A and B are shown apart, each in its own frame.
Chain A
Amino acid sequence: MNRGAASTEAMPRPAPARTLGRAGYVVALAALLLALPFIPQVPPFQRILLSYGLIAGITALAFNLLLGYTGLLSFGHSAFFGTAAYTAAFLVRYLHLTSMEAYLAAGFLSSLVVAVVFGVVCVRYTRIFFSILALALSQVLWGLAIKLFWITGGTDGIRVPSPTLLFGLIGGGDDKLTFLATTYYYYVLAVFALCVGALWLVVHSPFGKALQAIRDNEVRAEFVGVPVRAYRLAAFVLSGAFTGVAGALWAPLNGHVTPDVLYWPFSGRIVFMTVLGGFKSFGGPLIGALVFNHLEAYAVGYATYWQAVLGVVLVLLVLLMPTGLVGAGARLVARLRRS
């Protein structure tokens, strides 16, 4: 065989300048996010809103591991988000734990277990059958949260006070607004960075390439030796577990967990924000989550029928920008460069 005969020194390589350029953007953005609490023009409300956006960003990126990279559209991701949020609430109510690290670990594990159980059932199917199964299973959890009110608080939910951070080193002693807008903002930012880094690594790993192969052509993937169903399950579980991290972060920020986070419209929001940003790029869902988060916050404030505003945005999006904001932006930049 003559496989090594080609001169690999002469082979083309990716341009390093492009990679450095992207790294530069990431560093600049990170510096801006770190400096935000020191900018007086940015009020605490904006930082709290941004924390919600970053948490939504983790959710959308985790969701996109399934949609964009594995080709599976889940309408049941509220299950993982809600499971982790309720797990944090249960730790407060029943074990009187206030450690954020305990919320994160327990939220990650509980949503992982739920994802394994749901995944074993769901990944046997694809397309609409997968989507509907995921939706149906998630609604079982929503039903339980409503019906088992003596455990879950029913529609009243469970209050989650400000937690202690870094294994109790930092307490929630400040007034709640200051804590959430500064200390907790940095905490969310750090967990966000870790999750984005981990998910970026996963999708750019050989495992991530195998998921993309399954998305593109599952029959061929099987015929190059990818165990398709096992890898779908792995992607489902990873996606669910990272969504759980977002749910655990969200519970103390929101201060209150109710069955709404397990209800199907919450899954719809995750789909919406991912499609809004564009699911064909790594950063698209993150952009979509941030934009959606702000759009929703201001639509609620300025419009009585704010759901109608979001509905119009979704219709326009599908009709005019099927590749989402990032895809449309990339096309615009390419057109400007050509001209």
Chain B
Amino acid sequence: MALLVTERLRKYFGETRAVDDVSLTIQPRELVSLVGANGAGKTTLVNLITGLLTPDRGRILFQGVDVTHLPAPQRIRAGIARSFQLVNLFDQLTALDNVRLALFARDGKIRTAVALAERDTAVRDEAMAILEQFGLVPKWDLPAASLAQGERKLLDVAVAYALRPQLVLLDEPTSGVGTREKGRIMDTVASVCRDGGLTAIVVEHDMDIVFTYSDRILVMHQGQILADGPPEQIRADERVATTLLGHA
């Protein structure tokens, strides 16, 4: 069964057709890149799937269940997590606490007001293990605000990963970092997703990154899916070359 299906999903902002009747299917364990020029509708589509926006029309099915009108926290419990284009962290909390909070939320422990968070060694150890997977153990006790941009990007993904989702949507996980750092971030993200059996939809602009790491690429243009296929097919697609890569 497909993990995620969208059926004629539509979101207009006035006259702007941000997402225009998008139907797509995502299979389990795929690493799918979502590409397109600025304003193509990528982030809006991610926002619709994760519940930050409500569609004007269409349906979102996750594991066969209609989640179109579920609020974000319920979609998270269903197994959909995300990171954000502009890094969205709990800046005054340490890197450890950022991950730990996601674990507490995942396990329903955030309701506990009469036990010390620090005493929950199982959660602490799991949080440290996740930080180690993302190479952030040396920074575990630093406030998120004091981390370098690449580390913040990784922590952003680590927080989403800690929710133990089945589908994770990463909105530009490499934006704002240098070329070498991009490779390190995507190596980590791809290996964590593949080792963890996660399905990932990655919004990305860097086509070298996209062609290197993706199982499948979705190209959006003016709110619609222009092309959909494996990297070699997308590379050979003339419409993509014209609209996205700028080739005549």
Contact = CB atoms under 8 A, between A and B. Distances in A.
B133 interface: yes
A14 B140 CA distance: 11
Interface stretch (B12-20, B23-31, B61-69, B73-81): B73-81
A217 to B, nearest CB: 6
Interface in A207-240: 207-210, 212-213, 215-217, 219-227, 231, 238
A15 to B, nearest CB: 10
Nearest to B71: A222
Given A208-B117, A213-B101, A225 B129 contact: no
Interface stretch (A77-85, A198-206, A254-262): A198-206
Contacts of A213: 90, 93, 101
B174 to A, nearest CB: 19
Binding site of B, secondary structure by majority: helix, strand, loop or mixed?
A: helix
B197 interface: yes
A216 B90 contact: yes
Nearest to A215: B92
Contacts, number: 133
Interface residues of A, number: 35
Given A11-B125, A209-B93, A223 B113 contact: no
Binding site of A, secondary structure by majority: helix, strand, loop or mixed?
A: helix
Nearest to A234: B113
A208 B118 CA distance: 12
A8 B92 CA distance: 25
B159 interface: yes
A339 interface: no
B10 to A, nearest CB: 23
B116 interface: yes
Contact of A210 (B82, B110, B197): B110
6 A-B pairs closest in CB distance: A6-B129, A207-B113, A225-B105, A216-B90, A8-B125, A6-B132
9 contacts: A205-B115, A206-B110, A206-B115, A209-B97, A209-B104, A216-B89, A217-B90, A223-B50, A225-B106
